[in-house]
Chains A and B, each alone.
Chain A
């Protein structure tokens, strides 16, 4: 008997072979040249544009859009990449509806923003996918910097440091660089191996050595790095996942599920449940749920313990999930898993923020339970001050230890977004450079802009 979405249990190949390629194709296909020109023409070239302010990396959006409109996409790409070396990935994965596009004055005018994300992708793809690296390194400084984590924060930092003429060694625990770009982004958002291609292109600047399979605290220690290098940047992300607290067969971390999916060449071999319940309310929950559906799961439910307005996933992401056939169940907290089902308690959000268990319960069939209830810092180096479970930083990523900077998801403050990580890595690199150049560190007397 052939396997179908109805087949019980956690099995691979629920769909016809050609369905996988179709399901996991580009969720937002690139603009062609004419589409880009038309989209670019909608930009008003605002004065002191709100979209720039809304971008964590502060890309000069009106300028790059005008460069597209005048037929100079490579110049547009340089405008973007100067501020955000991961402009290609950010054009694909940024929650633009809450950032640049949310701030676009066209929203106020007609509720339909300039397609900034799609235009950014259009501009950068030509240059990034050409392979040729457009930035050149400065004169060698003889300084060496260790970067822990080859994700958006670490590589953004490494690129900026390399551009300044420093030699950079990047350590990463995984077998491939890219961090969440490689392992954490939903497959249909970065098709055709874009994450890997972008990293390879980024490394084209030279002066960056990758050492993979090097986990901080295991193969390499902060102590040793501090001894061997002139400065250290920590950007290793959040390797730990929060535990659900209930024990259930068929339960796994959504992060692992997504990573495995990203690394699986033939998706027809990837097992998925018939009835999948995803616990959580963020982007990871949405990415896991949608991809479970696309793999052929019959029913997929996102169960979130609070109300819909508290979900970390943007409305755009929620809509994306619903359109993919995912059911959103809010105010539903997991209590137990038994007999192929998960039992959820109905809750109510109280005005003071506490959660009330109403006493009502509902059971959902579940042969696969994916938990996406947040990640946490793992393998924290000793002696470094934390804030809210993450590495405490002041100003441009300075930690409590002299000569050690941090940024990205592992650092306190800021949203856990690719674009935020890129900005933090870049800004830390500038600070490290100033430090290595012998300039006294600028005092940080202003409140930390990234503080919660």
Chain B
């Protein structure tokens, strides 16, 4: 049976599933329940400086995007960092860590951008027994307006500076949590590395308005008739997070920098995908907020079964897909596929036809008896029919065999020619 034990920048946990710094990790009661349910680690909800506690709104703090049957696809929030006194949090962290020494317990931090504030908070957490710190440079709402959170994460120089302070005043492993609300995620990651970060974690939430109340004409969640942008998370953000993780994993300047993957991890499969793209572990929030802490048990059994089925170790999975992430210009333009409809599986709904006929390349014919047939001479292999077909594996893409001629283009399959070599590219280097 696959060993799921994880060692992430020296922080050990019985599995690679951590709860992200967020509402579920705000206090001892929740964290104990999470550990009882089987979570490998927890990043404690962000602590700020000692002083008057942070104030949250007293109206709704979450907005939601629902799929069918009110399935939660995405949540945004306008909650701030912990609003409980610092000492209470510190005492609870110490208590939990004492009882769960085998679990990872990382403390998320967010204080103003001056060295003294960071020195001060680091000294306060020193004797909690926590395994590391995560610098919250990500939250896009509320704290950012006070010069913290994503306001720091959007300026690589600040990231580098603060990370350096933390590394010079603490021996704890340091994870820098990145905001996705930037043009190029590689820049803040590079800054974190320059500052001495042991790892980056990403993504934090995405700036968003989830919906508008069409009676009140205000964004939701609505506080006394007004709304504001909040941080978006959950399954909906996974594709954005995967790309950002992969960008950092394959960037020469950050290659090898450990990554804790965050963003819509809901099942073992999501976790495996993040890890294949270079994440050493994953952090989860929305799935737990939607279904409770028990979801980790499916993640554990699923990942274990997957690894067992392929006779892989966890370390074999991490980063395995990174070499296959490339730029468009290096994709093989002589690789050709065609859609194939399995007539035995087809339920004759015609969605492939509507999609292709109305919005694509008119490459599916509708024959009498609602028989749908791919016209290979018109099929550009876009895959839209596969995507909209409600029956799994009913439509698949067939690779043209080497030597086979694409009836649409007249070109022969089996060669290799990317954009850098393509005759239509004025910058191409002739292959001949």
Instruction: Name A's B-contacting residues (CB within 8 A).
Output: 34, 37-38, 41, 44-50, 105-106, 108-109
Contact = CB atoms under 8 A, between A and B. Distances in A.
Contacts of A106: 347
A423 B214 CA distance: 39
17 contacts: A34-B70, A37-B69, A38-B69, A41-B68, A44-B349, A46-B350, A46-B351, A47-B353, A47-B354, A48-B350, A48-B366, A50-B370, A105-B347, A105-B348, A108-B347, A108-B348, A109-B390
Q: Which of A44, A45, A47, A48 has the largest count of B CB atoms less than 10 A from its CB?
A: A47
Contact of B349 (A37, A38, A41, A46): A46
A47 B69 contact: no
A103 to B, nearest CB: 10
A41 B71 CA distance: 12
Given A38-B68, A109-B391, A47 B351 contact: yes
Given A47-B351, A109-B347, 15 more contacts: A38-B68, A41-B69, A44-B390, A45-B351, A46-B348, A46-B349, A47-B350, A47-B354, A48-B350, A48-B370, A49-B350, A50-B348, A50-B370, A105-B347, A106-B347
A102 to B, nearest CB: 14
A44 B69 contact: no
Nearest to B352: A47
Contacts of A44: 349, 351, 390
Q: Which of B70, B347, B348, B354 has the largest count of A CB atoms less than 10 A from its CB?
A: B347
Interface in B257-282: none
Contacts of B68: 38, 41
Contacts of A49: 350
Q: Which of A38, A41, A44, A106 has the largest count of B CB atoms less than 10 A from its CB?
A: A44
A70 B143 CA distance: 36
Nearest to A43: B349
Interface in B302-358: 347-351, 353-354
B266 to A, nearest CB: 19
Interface residues of B, number: 14
10 nearest CB pairs, A to B: A47-B350, A47-B354, A41-B68, A108-B347, A46-B349, A105-B347, A105-B349, A109-B347, A44-B349, A38-B69
A48 B348 CA distance: 10
Nearest to B390: A44
A52 B348 CA distance: 14
Contacts of B349: 44, 46-47, 105
A44 B351 CA distance: 8
Nearest to A37: B69
Contacts of A34: 70
Nearest to A107: B347
A427 B29 CA distance: 69
B71 to A, nearest CB: 10
B158 to A, nearest CB: 45
A109 B370 CA distance: 15
Nearest to A34: B70
Nearest to A44: B349
Contacts of B354: 47
A37 B354 CA distance: 24
Nearest to B389: A44
A148 to B, nearest CB: 41
Contacts of A50: 348, 370
Interface string B360-396: 0000001000100000000000000000001100000
Contacts of A105: 347-349
A389 B373 CA distance: 46
A41 B390 CA distance: 12
Interface string B11-44: 0000000000000000000000000000000000
Contacts of B347: 105-106, 108-109
A37 B67 CA distance: 11
A49 B348 CA distance: 9
A109 B390 CA distance: 9
Interface in B54-96: 68-70
A148 B351 CA distance: 44
Contacts of B351: 44-47
Interface in B199-223: none
A416 B77 CA distance: 58
B167 to A, nearest CB: 51
Nearest to B350: A47
Contacts of A108: 347-348
Nearest to A42: B68
